[in-house]
Structure 1
Amino acid sequence: MTARKNPTGSTSTGAGVLRPHQLARHVDLVRLPCAQSLTPWVENYWMLHWDLPAGTSYCSSTLPHPAHTLSVEKGWVRDGVAALGGPVVVTGVLTRRFDVTLAATGWVLGIKFRPGGFTSLTGADARSLRDTPVSPPSSIPTATVDALAQLGPHLSADACRESADSALENLNCTTDPEYDELLGIVAAMLDDRTLIRVTQVEEHCNIPARRLQRLFAKYIGAPPKWVLARYRIHDVVTELDDGYDGSLADLAARYGWFDQAHFSREFTELIGVPPSAYGLHISHER
């Protein structure tokens, strides 16, 4: 593997699990860094563990990110994965909210890739993986899949992190200028939150429209307009999770919606409840 300096810094928002305070009452969540040599492709690792009383369950909801996830899942098996054939699962970019019901006892190690990182590292077709879990991931060598499958709750978090580093570092990857270009564009989207339209991104990054669309299709499997829209919702949810108590009209305008009704409709379609209801629910949790 060719070690490269991460050209962009963070390529993900801080938003993720909806109603995080509620999740913390049911599930232990730990985030872990990957090895420095993997940072051009991997954002971070995360680990979940739960042990719920018999007859009870909890539904966790997570915002979609423009990134692939490779997970090792032991114990309770989520819907859609049980029939896939193994504990190592790659899930492409999800275009809708990710809901999963947890019950009994379970453990998951997740590898969150940077936008396009999984495609750059493995050559996988991002478009064919969109909204689809696959196990075992055919784009990864069998030896790597087998090494990841050995991970589980019997190991410490540090041991899992080191083993995951070792498994991924066995993959061969060379410098990918197109992927680096994509990461630079994603970083620009995150660094300058006034970029709310694709034409603004094209001008800011000095990239033709067709090339921009092609890069996102190849590496992410979703168009740049979708990514911009998701980041705006992430910002709003983070504000509400942090206790925002201003008007929804001001919140909508701050993040580029010129019509509060449009903002509320888009928020409700993704989150499942209107922003007013979500904010009220968060305040009651505190």
Structure 2
Amino acid sequence: MTEHGANPVNLGRGVLYPGLTATKIRLARPEPDPRLAPFVENHWIVAWDLRGGKPYESRTLPHPSVHLVFEEPHPSVYGIIRGPFIREIAELGHVFGVKFHPGGFRPFLGAPVADLTDRVVPAQDVFGAGVFDVQEAVLATRDDTEMTRHVEDFLLGMLPARDPVADEVAAMVRTITETPAFVRVDDFAAHAGVSVRRLQRLFAEYVGASPKWVLRRARLHEAAERADQGGTLDWSALAAELGYADQAHLTRDFTAAIGAPPGAYTRT
């Protein structure tokens, strides 16, 4: 199995400093079993071999999704993390994650997803003690197919009933993600054909973040991706394109979310 350095620089939206990160890790995103697809967007595997080198801080700008993660020292459920997510990797290791659709974790949780926002909770609190057997199996191999099989067999054994409201919410978030020019919550609510109050309730119950946050995060993902493409970027024009009042407003949002101002991020 190929280790770090094998994947292209484009690691996908949300991975910060992708050019450097691609030299440190291997990232794979296996598609889910069709029976899991209504709930799970994709799996992801991060593997690294930094033996003989320095530790590396991997940074991501999270999506509005909940993740089930099999990692040392124990499996965890990550609610939406609203700031940058930073994880130090060192020596030899790997992590297996399940990225749920926005809204897709609600049927598993059986409670408002907002209860998990900015929290990391033990996976056994949601999935029971069986996650420890999966954890042991996943961390005992570095084969992507074998890891995926262990995790999917486990999830398929406790598959909840499909929730049509979760599907509706996932479609809303997908529209926002694919159309980062949406700026105002009331404009999007009108586009979606729901009231602002209903939109806010749906997002608290199923997504775990407000519509305003999801709109802003989509624009920041777009800004970071543009910056990652290299070359000279007209930040003033980009601010106008993304609906910001001015470049200063974009700069403040970008710096708060990513941890570095646009100029410093681009130079790095």
TM over 0.5: yes
Aligned to 2:103: 116
On the 8 A contact 1:123/1:139 being kept in 2, the answer is no
The answer to whether the aligner puts 1:208 opposite 2:208 as a matched pair is: no
1:274 to 256, 261, 268: 261
When residues 243 and 61 of structure 1 are mapped into structure 2, their CA distance, relative to the original with a 3 A threshold, is: same
Q: CA deviation at 1:14?
A: 4.1
Aligned to 1:16: 14
Q: Which structure exhibits the higher relative contact order, with contacts defined as CA atoms closer than 8 Å and separated by 6 or more residues?
A: 1
Aligned to 1:180: 167
On the 8 A contact 1:240/1:279 being kept in 2, the answer is yes
Q: Distance in 2 between matches of 1:190 and 1:131?
A: 20
1:130 to 107, 117, 140: 117
Q: CA deviation at 1:99?
A: 0.7
On the 8 A contact 2:108/2:126 being kept in 1, the answer is no
The answer to whether the aligner puts 1:70 opposite 2:68 as a matched pair is: yes
Query: What is the SS of the residue equivalent to 1:194?
Result: coil
Aligned to 2:186: 199
Q: CA deviation at 1:68?
A: 0.7
Aligned to 2:177: 190
Aligned to 1:3: none
Aligned to 1:29: 27
On the 8 A contact 2:137/2:150 being kept in 1, the answer is no
Q: Distance in 1 between matches of 2:61 and 2:99?
A: 13
Query: What is the SS of the residue equivalent to 2:13?
Result: coil
Counterpart residue type for residue 180 of structure 2: R
Q: Distance in 2 between matches of 1:244 and 1:207?
A: 41
Q: Distance in 2 between matches of 1:52 and 1:267?
A: 30
2:137 to 150, 153, 163: 150
Q: Distance in 2 between matches of 1:194 and 1:28?
A: 32
What is the aligned-residue RMSD (CA, Å)?
1.9
Q: CA deviation at 1:39?
A: 1.0
When residues 243 and 259 of structure 1 are mapped into structure 2, their CA distance, relative to the original with a 3 A threshold, is: same
* CA deviation profile, 1:10-42 (whole Å, cap 9, x unmatched): xxx941210111112122222211111111111
The answer to whether the aligner puts 1:234 opposite 2:232 as a matched pair is: no
Counterpart residue type for residue 98 of structure 1: F
Q: CA deviation at 1:52?
A: 1.9
The answer to whether the aligner puts 1:50 opposite 2:48 as a matched pair is: yes
Q: CA deviation at 1:243?
A: 2.0
Q: Distance in 2 between matches of 1:148 and 1:116?
A: 24
Q: Distance in 2 between matches of 1:243 and 1:140?
A: 43
Q: Distance in 1 between matches of 2:178 and 2:15?
A: 22
* CA deviation profile, 1:180-220 (whole Å, cap 9, x unmatched): 22112112213333321101111001101111111111112
Aligned to 1:166: 153
Query: What is the SS of the residue equivalent to 1:139?
Result: helix
Q: Distance in 2 between matches of 1:98 and 1:175?
A: 30
On the 8 A contact 1:67/1:220 being kept in 2, the answer is yes
Q: CA deviation at 1:124?
A: 4.3
TM-score by length of 1: 0.84
Query: What is the SS of the residue equivalent to 1:245?
Result: coil
- Structure 2: 5+ residue stretches without partners: 1-10
TM-score by length of 2: 0.89
Counterpart residue type for residue 29 of structure 2: R
On the 8 A contact 2:106/2:112 being kept in 1, the answer is yes
Query: What is the SS of the residue equivalent to 2:126?
Result: coil
On the 8 A contact 2:111/2:205 being kept in 1, the answer is no
On the 8 A contact 2:71/2:135 being kept in 1, the answer is no
- Structure 1: 5+ residue stretches without partners: 1-12, 75-81, 282-286
Q: Matched residue pairs, number? A: 258
When residues 168 and 266 of structure 1 are mapped into structure 2, their CA distance, relative to the original with a 3 A threshold, is: same
Q: Distance in 1 between matches of 2:33 and 2:182?
A: 32
